Amino acid sequence: MFPIGRPAYRRGERRRTRLIGCAVVVAMLSAACTTGTGADPSTGPGSTGTTSTTATDGTDGTAGPTATTGETTGTTTPTPTTWWSAPGSTVPFRTPDPDSATGVRLGLISSAGSDAFDRAVTDSVIEQADLAGAELTVCDAGADPGLVLDCARRLATQQVDGWIVLRPPGDLRDVLCDAGPQEVPLVVIGSDPLPCQSTAVGADDVRAGRLLGVALGLRARVAAGCRPAAWVLLADPASPGSTAARIAGVLDGWQAQCPGVGITPTVLDAGTQDVAYEAFATVLTGVPADADVIVAAVNDGAALGAVAAIPEGGDDHVVIGAIGADQRAWCAITTDPDWIGDAALFPERYGEVVVPTVLDLLHGESVPERILVDTALLSAGSLRKVYDVQECAGP
């Protein structure tokens, strides 16, 4: 259903974001609902324009066999679920043609207030919807399941043509589907599947892990003959599915560089930066100060916590890498020679996948059941080519 009677706007004019019928949600539920639209009239719905790729370090790899860990500390070794480790289709980044979605109403349930990753994804979706000229109603529910459902009910009254949900709580499933808009496309971002979804978009966690594992394994093979004194994996128990898939990829990449080496990694619970600090500091007390230590972190918060735990003078013997390439880690990556890099997840570009996918669905085109956002290993040098890191000191 495409709404009619939408007022025309002059080319180059940008409509101001405004509240639209969200008094109940804002006043009673503290969920911020806003509506923004684009402007330039152009081609029909579903049209997408420019495609692009991202610079990499040339460390490539695809998901290989699932690997398992042995000894663990403070956690149970995660096992990938079918969904998070299942193959998907990696698609190129695409920017919609300007105002190609004039007259299209979309809804987004986000959790932009929860963390930097979600904020970046939300901003990216808003930016691309605005470029396409779509009318986008955004409802920020945070991580509150009740607010997510209220946002879904709100969108169901807005006569949206399609809706997007960013990381909904996994236990909602059928309830969320029943509460939200009916018989229109639904794109779910970064979550276990919902029964009513048209497709899901998320990170290629296994491949991201493998890229990191290959880089760490290569460093360990050159520096320590693939036998460091300690081989540590920092996990996030709050995200078991993605954590398990990333660790499986790391171990597979490691084995590709160090085949047949029977070293057992230690897996630590590192759900927050502070927890990672404490856990890794404890590990370091059990190894000599001049011993080689290899660390793989499933996110940058854990990596930053581990780096902070390294005693003065010990950083020359600790090699670390992570998954994410979040802005909070840019300076560490570019200035610490022993931080070999990150497998970047590019949350600020998710809109270049999500919005074109919704428009494709509205245009009647088929899309993959599971869409993976491209990932690449960024070292200090390649990160400088992708992001503006002028504020970071160093070479």
Could you report the per-residue pLDDT of 103-114, keeping only the tens digit for each?
999 999 998 766
What mean pLDDT comes out for the span 332-338? Answer: 93
181, part of any domain: yes
Judge contact between 379 and 339, C-beta under 8 A: no
Q: What are 313's two structure tokens?
A: 């003078």
Q: Which of 45-59, 144-158, 260-274, 318-332 shows the lowest mean pLDDT across its residues? A: 45-59
29, part of any domain: yes
Please tell me the total count of domains within the chain: 2
- Which of 308, 327, 345 is at the close of a domain? 345
56, part of any domain: no
For tokens 């509150």, the residue is: 144
Question: Are residue 122 and residue 150 in the same domain, yes or no?
Answer: yes
318 pLDDT higher than 90: yes
Question: Are residue 301 and residue 212 in the same domain, yes or no?
Answer: yes
Question: Are residue 142 and residue 121 in the same domain, yes or no?
Answer: yes
Question: Are residue 76 and residue 221 in the same domain, yes or no?
Answer: yes
Question: Are residue 109 and residue 246 in the same domain, yes or no?
Answer: no
55, part of any domain: no
C-alpha span between 53 and 82 (Å, rounded): 28
Q: State the average pLDDT for the chain.
A: 81
Question: Are residue 176 and residue 35 in the same domain, yes or no?
Answer: yes
- Distance between the two ends of the chain, CA-based, in angstroms? 55
Instruction: Give the per-residue pLDDT at 395.
Output: 55
The H or E element spanning position 242 is: helix 240-257
Question: Are residue 278 and residue 159 in the same domain, yes or no?
Answer: no
What mean pLDDT comes out for the span 89-102? Answer: 94
140, part of any domain: yes
394, part of any domain: no
Query: 182 vs 68, 156, 179, 295, CA distance in Å?
Result: 41, 7, 9, 46
Give me the CATH number covering residue 334. 3.40.50.2300
Judge contact between 258 and 226, C-beta under 8 A: yes
Question: Are residue 41 and residue 148 in the same domain, yes or no?
Answer: yes
Look at residues 197, 241, 203 and name the one whose alpha carbon lies nearest to residue 350. 203
177 pLDDT higher than 50: yes
What mean pLDDT comes out for the span 168-176? Answer: 86
Q: Give per-residue pLDDT as tens, 116-159.
A: 889 999 999 999 999 999 999 999 998 889 999 999 999 999 99
13: exposed, middle or buried (Cβ count in 10 Å: 0-12, 13-18, 19+): exposed
164, part of any domain: yes
Residue 333 CA, distance from chain mean position: 18
Q: Where are the beta strands (DSSP E) in 74-142?
A: 89-90, 93-96, 105-110, 135-140
393: exposed, middle or buried (Cβ count in 10 Å: 0-12, 13-18, 19+): exposed
- Which of 308, 330, 345 is at the close of a domain? 345
385, part of any domain: no
Question: Are residue 217 and residue 325 in the same domain, yes or no?
Answer: yes
Query: 300-309 and 273-284 helices cross at what angle (nearest 10)?
Result: 40
Question: Are residue 246 and residue 233 in the same domain, yes or no?
Answer: yes
Length of the chain: 395
What mean pLDDT comes out for the span 221-242? Answer: 91
Q: Give per-residue pLDDT as tens, 2-34.
A: 232 222 222 233 432 323 333 333 322 334 444
Question: Are residue 189 and residue 292 in the same domain, yes or no?
Answer: no
301 pLDDT higher than 50: yes
Q: Where are the beta strands (DSSP E) in 148-252?
A: 162-166, 186-189, 199-203, 230-235
Q: Give per-residue pLDDT as tens, 356-394.
A: 999 999 999 999 999 999 999 999 999 999 999 998 976
Residue 303, Cβ neighbours under 10 Å: how many? 30
Instruction: Give the per-residue pLDDT at 51.
Output: 52
Question: Are residue 220 and residue 314 in the same domain, yes or no?
Answer: yes
220: exposed, middle or buried (Cβ count in 10 Å: 0-12, 13-18, 19+): buried
Of 395 and 320, more confident:
320
* pTM for this entry: 0.80
Instruction: Give the per-residue pLDDT at 49.
Output: 53
Which range marks the domain in which residue 113 is found? 23-46+89-203+348-373
Query: 321 vs 15, 179, 214, 286, CA distance in Å?
Result: 43, 41, 11, 21
Q: Give per-residue pLDDT as tens, 183-218.
A: 999 999 998 889 999 999 999 999 999 999 999 999
